[in-house]
Structure 1
Amino acid sequence: APIDSIWIDDEILLDCAQQGIWRHNQFVPLTARAYRFLLYFVHHPRQIIPIPQLLHIGWPDEMRTPRDLYGHIYRLRRVIESDPRHPRLLVTRRDAGYLWTAIPHNQMDSRRVSQIIST
């Protein structure tokens, strides 16, 4: 059976069926783009994801600048981080990209992740 949710850390459940997260028994919906970013980060834990790669994930058919990405990262941190100004899950690696620090408790099939991210 396909996995419909991923515990991305001890407090946050990524609900793949509803494209949002559960935190402290509250559901927070994500935009389609934020969901793709988060799913990609979670599927590549402890890897620095370069900004050009994230731009391609967020806007596969458009040319965008890093500034377009920064707003999405900011909003995503407001949803997933206890203290968005001092992130511990989604960390900036200056001049390199972003790093997802948590190892998820379970994972989704790689083909399914690729399919979701490419739509």
Structure 2
Amino acid sequence: MTRVLVVDDDLTVRDVVRRYLELDGHQVALADNGEDALRWIGENHPDLVVLDLMLPGIDGLEVCRRLRQHSTIPVVMLTALGEEENRIAGLQLGADDYVSKPFSPRELALRVSSVLRRASAKPPMAGPRRLVDGDLAVDVAAHRASLRGAELALTTREFDLLLFFMSHPGEAFTREQLLEKVWGWDFGDQSTVTVHVRRLREKIEKTPAKPSRIVTVWGLGYRYERAG
């Protein structure tokens, strides 16, 4: 049984989300502030965190930032409708997905299941078990990536995105196509892709502002270019 921590200062939201996630078979813990959430995560290591950004004391962005300093636990953010800056900031800090308030509890439960499924998915039997591009390597079976021999701290989405790009060198993809193929969404905010590409560039490019691996195809999207 997967363990999910729901962090929100609204009792009604916590209770509704808990009931829907429990119906999906998850074990659910609750927290109403950032300090308690970080303490609980450190002691219990959940499989996923549902995190509201507007929290008393330590807000959700700071919780996400501190969590990403030492963990790749998947995070699904809850953001108020129209708070695009906070949403993008959360994705830049390493959140895997988001749902805007007011939201459908069933949609949130589906997003949680989707993120957990990708985080625990076994690599396909077909295809290479290891992808190497110069000093960049992806071990598909171990779900690890390394650059110049040092392991990269990638979130689930970042790893999936890198694996997809390296599996399709030289091919251009729109943001919409990447949402469908990497996130498994047939709709959604394409800025999610933009932010994840930016984060991935910061981790694998020598000069992120002038990327040589994940290049922008103007008017279309992105293309992965092999080194050399």
Separation (CA, whole Å) in 2 of partners of 1:18 and 1:78: 22
Q: How does 1:42-81 map to 2 (within 5 A)?
A: 42-61=166-185, 63-81=187-205
Aligned twin of 1:84: 208
Greater RCO between the two (CA within 8 Å, min separation 6)? 1
Structure 1 gaps, min length 5: 104-119
Instruction: State the 4+ residue runs in structure 1 displaced beyond 6 angstroms.
Output: none
Aligned twin of 1:37: 161
Are residue 11 (structure 1) and residue 135 (structure 2) matched?
A: yes
Instruction: Give the CA deviation at 1:17.
Output: 2.8
Q: What is the aligned length? A: 102
- The alignment's TM-score, normalised by the length of structure 1, stands at 0.75
- The alignment's TM-score, normalised by the length of structure 2, stands at 0.41
- Describe the SS at the equivalent of 2:152: strand
Instruction: Give the CA deviation at 1:37.
Output: 1.2
Structure 2 gaps, min length 5: 1-124
Aligned twin of 1:110: none
Identity %: 26
Q: Which has the higher helix share?
A: 2
Cα deviation, 1:25-69, whole Å, max 9, x if unaligned, reads 211132221122111111111111121110112331463122111
- Describe the SS at the equivalent of 2:212: coil
What amino acid maps onto 1:4 in structure 2?
R
Q: Find the structure with the greater CA-based Rg.
A: 2
Judge conservation of contact 1:19–1:30 (CA < 8 Å) in 2: no
